[in-house]
Structure 1
Amino acid sequence: MGAKKRPFYRLVVADSRAPRDGRFIEIIGHYNPIVDPVELVIDKEKAQDWLKKGAQPSDTVKRLFKQVGVIA
C-alpha cells in the first residue's frame, strides 16, 4: 500500500506466524499519515471483537486504538 514517500497503512489481523507483509485474516481499518488532518479509520466493533478473542496489538496499533477509543 502507499507509494514511494507516500505511506498508507492497512490495519489487519494476522497470525503471528505469518510474514509481516504476508497473509492476513481480516482488514479492520486504515491509516493515512500524509493528509492533514491524519486519516485514521478503524472498525471499532471488529477491533474489540478480535481483542476479546485474544489478539495482541503491536505497540503502534495500540497507540492508534487509544486515539479512536477502542481501548482505554
Structure 2
Amino acid sequence: MSLKIRLARGGSKKRPYYHIVVADARSPRDGRFLEKLGSWNPMLGKDDEKRVELNAERVQHWIANGAQPTDRVLRFLDQAGLAKRAARSNPEKAKPGKKALERAAEKKQKAEDAAAAAAE
C-alpha cells in the first residue's frame, strides 16, 4: 500500500481549510484517510503560528513507515524542521517577459527625457 501525507480540503466555499492526513495514494482527496496529522489554514497570515499545525511525533512515525509527503506538505515539514526539501531553481521564471521589458525601457526613456527637459 502506497501511503501519502497530503492535504484534504475542508471549509466552505471560498474559505478553504485543509487537514494534513495520511492516506492511501489511491483514495480520493477528501476521502478515507488513516490518520489526521495536522491542519493548514491559508486564510491566516503567513506569520501566524496557527497557520500550519503539525503533530511532529506522528509525522516522523509515518515517514519512517514509508509515507511520502506531497510537495506542499513537504514545504510545511521543511519549515518545521521535520524533513529536508531540495531547493528548486527555475531562473527563467523570475525574468520579465518581452512586454514588461518594453514597458520598462519606455518608462526609462520618458524619465530621461523629462530630466533633460528639466535641465534646460
Aligned-partner Cα distance in 2 for 1:19–1:33: 21
Asked if 1:61 corresponds to 2:87, the answer is: no
Instruction: Compute the TM-score of the two structures, normalised by the length of structure 2.
Output: 0.57
RMSD: 1.1
- Of the structure 1 ranges 48-57 and 36-45, higher mean CA displacement relative to structure 2 is found in 36-45
Which runs of 5 or more structure 1 residues have no equivalent in the other structure?
none
Bigger fraction of residues in helix: 2
Tell me the residue number matched to 1:43. Answer: 55
| CA-CA distance at 1:20 after TM superposition | 1.5
Give 1:1-72 correspondences, 5 Å limit. Answer: 1-36=10-45, 37-38=47-48, 39-72=51-84
Q: Residue 60 of structure 1: CA displacement?
A: 0.8
Question: What percentage of residue pairs aligned between the two structures are identical?
Answer: 46
Q: Which amino acid aligns with 1:24?
A: F
Q: How many residues are paired up?
A: 72
In 2, distance between residues paired with 1:6 and 1:69? Answer: 28
Q: Distance in 1 between matches of 2:79 and 2:37?
A: 15
> 1: CA distance between counterparts of 2:73 and 2:28?
17
TM-score (norm 1): 0.91
Distance in 2, Cα, partners of 1:34 & 1:5: 10
Bigger mean CA deviation after superposition, 25-34 or 13-22: 13-22
